[in-house]
Structure 1
Amino acid sequence: MDKPALTTSILHADRRLGVEHGGIRTPIHTSIQYGYERVEDLIDVFQGKRKGGFNYARQGTPTTAALESKLAALELGRGAVCFSSGMAALTAVFLTLLRAGDHVVSSRFVFGNTHSLFTTLGTLGIEVSRVDAGSAAEVAAALRPNTRMVFVETIANPGTQVPDLEAIGTLCRDQRLLYVVDNTITSPVLFRPRHVGAGLVIHSLSKTIAGHGAALGGAVIDTGEFDWLHCPNIADAYRSADPASWGLLQIRKKGLRDMGASLSSEHAHQIGLGAETMELRVRQSSANALALARYLESHPAVDKVHYPGLPSHPQHETARRCFGAGSWLLSFELRDPGSMCRVINKLRIPIKATGLGDTRTLVIPVAPTIFWEAGAQVRAAMGISDGMVRISAGIEDTDDLIADFEQALAD
């Protein structure tokens, strides 16, 4: 038969890997140590010669390995490494693959914590140039002889800017640069960065893939699109292995073994369960986001709506071509910024909370919360106004959500 579709594949992934006792899901493995009858087998695990072996839970368990297998399949990759959070995954990529004196080109429009991380990289001698990645020409102009990596988010949080994903991928391929794409907001349901040449894909698993606000996790997936022979920072200890494995091997060893940002088996199990309904949730939450965006764009109290699914969005054609749907993230700006708290407080269905990709709609004022630390100058450069409100659309009934925003925006 033809290869099954995404939801069918992930629903049956565990049992097709061979779960003991006829179970249909991989169990939660709580053991920290893993023993072997022959010490030679333990040595082979430590030296990476034995596939699928475990020695200490900091570097993974059978439960996290099952999730990694699912994630690699979802992103059409050759392998994955899971972490305790999306920021841990992102930090591991930068700190294990870059060295002092290296240079990164990044989209200027990134998650607030990622922006903060870039500031930390600067203190370690790793310079980050931040450009408008909606233009591949701006990315190209920022390249230097010591540039090692280009980083973008598929849809920026909170302004929803979309990079020129395809052209940047071509640029990175021609320049032999590692192209790293954070696919958290679109997810494999709407977009697979491998198709535009991304070598590494990053996810905050807590968002779209887990989807219920109940488990933290992150992941790095190697798509197979980058030739690790072109990465000068791979340690000699890992160069004896297959070059195709160098990137993930170093990320796992340095990011998990040395840094310790390990995903627990309990959360890996919950994330795996959440992934089974990912496609259904993304379809409904994207439909809700589009309906809300259309409604808000027509409301006299709203000055501007940011959503890639709207024809008014500057990168609408790129989003339509690459994603097909705009995902669950949107933001809007009130004509009267002073009314922001009053409007949000009147909402009955959305939860006033940070976070994204939940089954329930979440709403938060951007400038005084998640981007407060960045400062007014950075907010202005990122297009974040004082009256911007971010919405993470959930899976509630569409009419209920629109009716709630209607009463909240009423004078």
Structure 2
Amino acid sequence: MNIESRLAQIGSISEPVTGAVSFPVYQSTAFRHPKLGQSTGFDYSRTKNPTRSVLEEAIAELESGDAGFACSSGMAALQTIFALFSQGDHLIVSLDLYGGTYRLLEQIMSRFGVSATYVDTNDLAALEQAYRESTRAVLIETPTNPLMMVTDIEAVATWAKGKGVLTIVDNTLLTPYLQRPIELGADIIIHSATKYLGGHNDVLAGLIVTKGRELSEKMFFLHNSIGAVLGPQDSWLLMRGMKTLALRMQRHEANATAIAKWLQTHPMVAEVFYPALESHPGYEIQNKQSSGNTGIFSFKMKDARAIETILRHIRLIAFAESLGGVESLMTYPAVQTHADIPLEIREKIGVDDRLLRYSVGIEHVDDLMTDLARAFDAAASELAGGVKA
């Protein structure tokens, strides 16, 4: 079946006793054994829960993987993956990186002897230079958050296999509807499922997908042992959100593309970072490995003094610190999502005080443009010496 049908049918034929179209929420933490030495397949909910299992099977199938694991947040999923590594191990990581991932690596994993080198992962020479005998994996965000840098997944995965290291891809921004990294050679996929997969800013979740029996067995052990698993109610909410993923991503992309093109022409805007634009350096790679574009992009103002006024005057667009929901949100990365990254690193990659990140929702595009235009006009007036509204 096409992916739209597979998404819409998540869980709809998984309950054979009653034929429930919406798979039930199994709140039970314990399950009866038929007799000594026998199990229904469910013993204790941390290890396996019927509702969570349907979700995990669905994401594994959608991502062309062998096993899926649902975690209590995207960061919990990332920590579970990092538990694969031991003292002395080294990781190569995307240079433009979500601040929470950087914080986990530098302030927590470093204390356990796991180190990381940050490079432009689309530069194979940079990967080669960063490689050490102790390197165990390459972690890619593509597109990155917030500068939307694109990495050629197949090229990196081929390089990594030649070195005997894992390729881990954060597929949060594109989802399996638009990009499937395992089909391009990746070993592990991670999602902050709080974002586009959930899609409604109402469930906190993370997902892992693995390829290969041995790796999947290792991840199952870590998932169960660490125990940062997703509860059954949240698993059900996430499945419900995923059913409409195709429709939502189509609208997110259409709105984001129209607004990004409009911002490109605005006299107050210096630069727009969005792979759907032909001017974007990753445009061709994005078209090669993905079937579309996400609903988030960033843009840089010419004058940093306009930022505060814009954030004060947007009304339909919320000034809030997340992305991927049906509601439009705007974030100031330098003081929010990427505040834990040192100033010199942020400035080196371009996450400075002129950058805004915009998660475009599914509202009517004309209303979103009107809201932005009004906020920009207020900023222009204040910069020109007008009265502060």
TM-score by length of structure 1 reads 0.89
C-alpha distance in 2 between matches for 1:60 and 1:362 = 35
| TM-aligned CA deviation for residue 57 of structure 1 | 1.1
Matched ranges for 1:180-195 at <5 A: 180-195=168-183
C-alpha distance in 1 between matches for 2:3 and 2:14 = 16
| TM-aligned CA deviation for residue 313 of structure 1 | 1.3
1:395 aligns with 2:383: no
| TM-aligned CA deviation for residue 140 of structure 1 | 2.2
Correspondence for 2:220: 252
Report if aligned partners of 1:136, 1:164 keep a CA contact under 8 Å in 2. Answer: no
1:61 aligns with 2:49: yes
Matched ranges for 1:193-208 at <5 A: 193-208=181-196
Matched ranges for 1:292-307 at <5 A: 292-307=259-274
Render the CA deviation track for 1:110-133: whole Å, top value 9, x for unaligned.
111001111021221111111111
Aligned-pair identity (%): 31
| TM-aligned CA deviation for residue 73 of structure 1 | 1.1
Correspondence for 1:107: 94
State the one-letter code of the partner of 1:110. L
Render the CA deviation track for 1:124-147: whole Å, top value 9, x for unaligned.
111111111121221122111121
C-alpha distance in 2 between matches for 1:248 and 1:356 = 29
> Could you list the runs of 5+ residues in structure 1 that have no partner in the other structure?
43-51, 225-243
Which of residues 73, 80, 89 is equivalent to 1:85? 73
Q: Which moved more, 1:270-279 or 1:322-331?
A: 322-331
C-alpha distance in 1 between matches for 2:211 and 2:340 = 34
Render the CA deviation track for 1:151-178: whole Å, top value 9, x for unaligned.
1012111111111222101111222221
RMSD value, Cα: 1.4
Report if aligned partners of 2:52, 2:70 keep a CA contact under 8 Å in 1. Answer: yes
Matched ranges for 1:352-363 at <5 A: 352-363=319-330
Render the CA deviation track for 1:267-326: whole Å, top value 9, x for unaligned.
000000000000110111011111111111110001111111111212111112222322
Would the alpha carbon gap of residues 19 and 344 (structure 1) be closer, same or farther in structure 2, given more than 3 Å must change?
farther
C-alpha distance in 1 between matches for 2:291 and 2:54 = 29
C-alpha distance in 2 between matches for 1:82 and 1:206 = 11
Which of residues 5, 25, 29 is equivalent to 1:28? 25
1:134 aligns with 2:122: yes
Matched ranges for 1:117-196 at <5 A: 117-119=104-106, 120-196=108-184
| TM-aligned CA deviation for residue 71 of structure 1 | 0.4
Look up the SS of the partner of 1:21 in the other structure: coil
Look up the SS of the partner of 2:208 in the other structure: strand
C-alpha distance in 1 between matches for 2:151 and 2:116 = 17
Render the CA deviation track for 1:226-280: whole Å, top value 9, x for unaligned.
xxxxxxxxxxxxxxxxxx1x3223223223x332211000000000000000011
State the one-letter code of the partner of 1:32. T
| TM-aligned CA deviation for residue 12 of structure 1 | 2.2
Which of residues 286, 295, 306 is equivalent to 1:339? 306
| TM-aligned CA deviation for residue 183 of structure 1 | 0.4
C-alpha distance in 2 between matches for 1:281 and 1:60 = 30
C-alpha distance in 2 between matches for 1:393 and 1:71 = 24
| TM-aligned CA deviation for residue 329 of structure 1 | 1.2
> Could you list the runs of 5+ residues in structure 2 that have no partner in the other structure?
381-389
State the one-letter code of the partner of 1:315. G
Report if aligned partners of 2:296, 2:358 keep a CA contact under 8 Å in 1. Answer: yes
| TM-aligned CA deviation for residue 399 of structure 1 | 1.4
Report if aligned partners of 2:30, 2:44 keep a CA contact under 8 Å in 1. Answer: yes
| TM-aligned CA deviation for residue 346 of structure 1 | 1.3
C-alpha distance in 1 between matches for 2:178 and 2:58 = 17
Report if aligned partners of 1:135, 1:164 keep a CA contact under 8 Å in 2. Answer: no
Matched ranges for 1:233-248 at <5 A: 244=213, 246-248=214-216
Report if aligned partners of 1:19, 1:25 keep a CA contact under 8 Å in 2. Answer: no
1:283 aligns with 2:250: yes
C-alpha distance in 1 between matches for 2:14 and 2:57 = 9
Look up the SS of the partner of 2:200 in the other structure: coil
Correspondence for 2:280: 313
1:263 aligns with 2:230: yes
C-alpha distance in 1 between matches for 2:86 and 2:197 = 31
Report if aligned partners of 1:164, 1:318 keep a CA contact under 8 Å in 2. Answer: yes
1:116 aligns with 2:116: no
| TM-aligned CA deviation for residue 109 of structure 1 | 1.2
C-alpha distance in 2 between matches for 1:69 and 1:258 = 20
Report if aligned partners of 1:169, 1:198 keep a CA contact under 8 Å in 2. Answer: yes
State the one-letter code of the partner of 2:350. G
C-alpha distance in 1 between matches for 2:196 and 2:335 = 25
1:214 aligns with 2:202: yes
Which structure 1 residue ranges, 4+ long, deviate > 3 Å from structure 2? none
C-alpha distance in 1 between matches for 2:351 and 2:295 = 19
Report if aligned partners of 2:10, 2:58 keep a CA contact under 8 Å in 1. Answer: yes
C-alpha distance in 1 between matches for 2:117 and 2:335 = 26
Report if aligned partners of 1:86, 1:204 keep a CA contact under 8 Å in 2. Answer: yes
Q: Which moved more, 1:372-381 or 1:25-34?
A: 372-381
